[in-house]
Structures are given as C-alpha cells and as structure tokens.
Amino acid sequence: MAKSPAPKGKDNFTRNIVIAVVVGVALIMVVPTVLSSRTNTSAAIPASVSAERGYGIVYNEELTGVPVIDIYQDFQCGVCAQFEILQGDYIESLIAEKKATVVYHTLSFLGPESVNAANAAACSADQDQYLDFQRTLYSNMPAERNAGGWSNDLLAVIGGAAGITAPEFAECVKKGDYLGWVSNAAAAGAQANVNSTPTVFINGKEIDRQSEYFDVAKFRAAVERG
C-alpha cells in the first residue's frame, strides 16, 4: 500500500475537500432535521388538545370507564373520508351521548396541503367547531392532492361553509398558528407506530383492518367490546 513516490499530477487535496464538503453538508442538514422531528413542548396547542394523548383533539376527556377511541387520519386521505362518511354519525353520537372518549389525531404525511388542513382543523377546535369542520373538509375533498385544493385561503372558506364565522379562525388558518402542533402530532403518530391512515385504536389496541373499519355493525361491536 506504499504511496507512489511521484504523484501523477493529481493530488488528493481536491478529493479530500470534496469528501469533507459532502459529509459536512449532509451532517449540517441531518442533525437539525432529526432534532426538529422531536416534540416541541413550547408549541401552541389548540383548545381540547391533550399532549398526554399524543397531541390529539380530545372529546369527553373527563369520562372514565368508557372506551377510548383514537382515530389517526390525514385530511388528504381518501380512505379516511370514506371512513368518516361511513362511521362519522355513530362516532359523533358516542361523543354527544358521552359514551366514549374520542381522540382525533391529524397526521400530515401526504404533503403540504395536509399540513394546511391539519393546522386549519386546530383553528376550528379553538372555535369549538372541529367536528363540523372535519365533516365539511371530508365532503369537499379535492380529487387531486397538493394541487391548490386546500390552500389556506380555501380552507378559510371551507370553515365558513362549516359555520365558523369568527374572524380569528381565518386569521389562524392563514398565519399557520398551529404548525408546531401539527409536527408534534406527526411525531406522536410516529411514536405510536401508526403506518397508514385511517388507523383506529380502541383502548389502545388497533381494530381489525380487514373487517372492522368499513362495516358499521362490526365497528359498533368493536367499540362496545371495548
């Protein structure tokens, strides 16, 4: 492995610089990214969000002895819309009749407009109209993802359609007040090993993906079984 005594014009200086730059830039990029994927406990959280429950939007937090339903969803996920359309009435009746604690986790892995929509959902929770907003979102879901369908301007309009009239809502949507919370919710979903949406846990255990998500009777049985 002896070095050749006479370098042939080409020395290793350039090579070493290139190696240092590539490795250095990669480290400069990866370290902050890893750090920012951690939970930022100082991020603003909307009303009815519980950090202990994975930064989900919680209904009936105070109840004990009832099933806890955790729903992980992405507002650009078509299957989530189907789930909400099929099971939404039943889940909302459980909330209204105080028969279950329901935690909505808004994930955002389908792109920037999922982030917009999740932020807007948090803004609607501040106005105590999350469920109305979610329903309106899913029934107006754009056919194509990240194509301007859920720009912040349009999300503010959707909020109006859902009956949210407070001017703070539109401001919160456009300013992205809850972007820190959105990434906290995403990190919590990653820690909970949620790998697709929708994912539904009842009392911390995932229900059967093959049968229980899209069958009204079987979903109801799964909730009642607890």
Partner 1 sequence: MKIYFPWIGLVARLILGGTMVAAGYLKIDELDKSQMAVRSFELLPIWLANFLGIFLPFFELAVGLLLIVGAATRVSAALIGLLMIAFIIGIIQAWARGLSIDCGCFGGGGPVAPGTANYTTPLLRDFGLLALSIYLFYLPQSKFALDRHSSSAETTGE
- Minimum distance of partner 1 from residue 13's CB (angstroms): 10
* Closest listed residue to residue 107, CA positions, set 115, 99, 116, 96: 115
Residue 19's alpha-carbon distances to 24, 25, 29, 30, 31, in angstroms, are: 8, 10, 16, 16, 18
CA 56 – CA 72 distance, rounded (Å): 9
- Minimum distance of partner 1 from residue 3's CB (angstroms): 7
- Minimum distance of partner 1 from residue 129's CB (angstroms): 27
Q: By C-beta, is 15 or 98 nearer to partner 1?
A: 15
Q: By C-beta, is 41 or 193 nearer to partner 1?
A: 193
- Minimum distance of partner 1 from residue 200's CB (angstroms): 14
- Minimum distance of partner 1 from residue 180's CB (angstroms): 15
Q: By C-beta, is 30 or 96 nearer to partner 1?
A: 30
CA 116 – CA 146 distance, rounded (Å): 10
Q: By C-beta, is 31 or 96 nearer to partner 1?
A: 31
Q: By C-beta, is 119 or 129 nearer to partner 1?
A: 119
Binding residues (CB under 8 A) for partner 1: these are: 1-4, 7-8, 10-12, 14-15, 18-19, 22-23, 25-26, 29-30, 33-34, 37, 107-109, 111, 186, 190-191, 193, 195-196, 210
Residue 42's alpha-carbon distances to 48, 57, 95, 178, 179, in angstroms, are: 16, 17, 29, 11, 12
CA 174 – CA 218 distance, rounded (Å): 40
45 sits in the region (left: phi over 0; alpha: psi -120 to 50; else beta) called: beta
